[in-house]
Structure 1
Amino acid sequence: MAEQKKGGMTVQEAGRLGGEKGGKIVRERYGHDFYEEIGKKGGQTVARERGHAFYEEIGRKGGETVAREKGPGFYSEIGHKGGQRVRELIEEGKKRR
C-alpha cells in the first residue's frame, strides 16, 4: 500500500506524531482546565444518552474484575484501612476542639 501524503507528511507519520506528542501539545496549548472541561462534557453526554443503568453495569463489571484479580479478601482489606483512617480523622478533629 502506498503512503498517502497530506501537508508534507505521510498518514503514518501524522498518526505517530499525534499519538506520541498530541496530548502533550494540547496540554501545553490549552492547559489542565481544558481536560477537566471536556471530561465533564463527555461525562454529562454519556449520562444523558445511556442513563443510570449504564453506570451500574460498568461498576458491577469493574467490581467483579477487581474481585477476580485481587481475590476475595481485597475489599475487606481496603474497607478495614478506610475505617482506620476515618477513626484517625475523627480523633484529629476532637483534638482540635
Structure 2
Amino acid sequence: MAEEKGKMTVSEAGRKGGETTSKKYGPEFYEEIGHKGGKKGGQTTKQKYGHEFYEEIGHKGGQ
C-alpha cells in the first residue's frame, strides 16, 4: 500500500475499483462487456485501418 494514509497508487486504485465492480455485478458483467467491447472495437479498427492492419500486426506478433 501507499505510505501516506489515505493515498494509494494508480495500480491500487484500479485493483480496488475492479474488486468493487466484481462484487457488485459478478463475472457475467465482465464477460458481457468484453464480448461487446471486443466486437465493436474490432469493427471500428477494421473500418479505420483496413484488413492490411490486421495482417501487419499478426505478422509482428508471430515474430
- TM (normalized to structure 1)? 0.45
Identity %: 32
Question: Hey, what does 1:30 align to over in structure 2?
Answer: 8
Query: Structure 1: 5+ residue runs without aligned partners?
Result: 1-28, 85-97
Determine which structure has the larger strand proportion and give its number.
1
Task: Report which structure shows greater RCO (CA 8 Å, sep ≥6).
Answer: 2
Larger Cα-atom Rg:
1
- Backbone CA RMSD of aligned residues: 2.5
**Separation of aligned partners in 2, 1:59 and 1:37:** 21
Letter in 2 for 1:71: G
Question: Hey, what does 1:88 align to over in structure 2?
Answer: none
Do residues 50 (structure 1) and 29 (structure 2) align?
yes
The offset of 1:43, in angstroms, is 5.1
